[in-house]
Amino acid sequence: MTGKITAEEFRKNKPAKYRNVKAEIDGIKFDSIKEGRRYFKLKILKMAGEITDIELQPRFDIIVNGKFCGFYKADFRITWKTGNVTIEDAKGMKTTVYSLKKKLIEAIYGITIVEV
């Protein structure tokens, strides 16, 4: 055995860029354990009647001066029984790209993204 591995084996065994570990809850795959835990807590709040709806990965287009510049996907859009809507992102590592997209989305849509 030469000790060499194929490119496919390398990709399968390569650690995630930010050391996040993927999680699966109720057959739903999450990018991190933190995001999965947050979903589980939100699910409990929904069963308790505090939340009426949980939307996973809502997409927000970034359009400036009529030109599409990209998009941002949040982790959750939560509708509370009060009617309030919260946009949440389970963040472990805040990159500069994320920070810029967050500012753009908050300015364009007039919303606040809550980091949990």
Going by C-beta distance under 8 Å and a sequence separation of 6 or more, which residues neighbour residue 76?
38, 39, 42, 54, 55, 56, 58, 86, 87, 88, 89, 90
Question: pLDDT for 33-83, tens place per residue?
Answer: 999 999 999 999 999 999 999 999 999 999 999 999 999 999 999 999 999
The CA distance from 94 to 63, in Å, is 22
> What ranges do the domains of the chain cover?
16-115
The CA distance from 17 to 1, in Å, is 29
Count of beta carbons in the 10 Å neighbourhood of residue 105: 20
pLDDT for residue 47: 97
The CATH T-level fold of domain 16-115 is Trna Endonuclease; Chain: A, domain 1 (3.40.1350)
Instruction: Evaluate whether 28 touches 55 at the Cβ level (below 8 Å).
Output: no
**pTM of the complete model beyond 0.95:** no
Residue closest to 52 by CA, chosen among 76, 87, 80, 84:
80
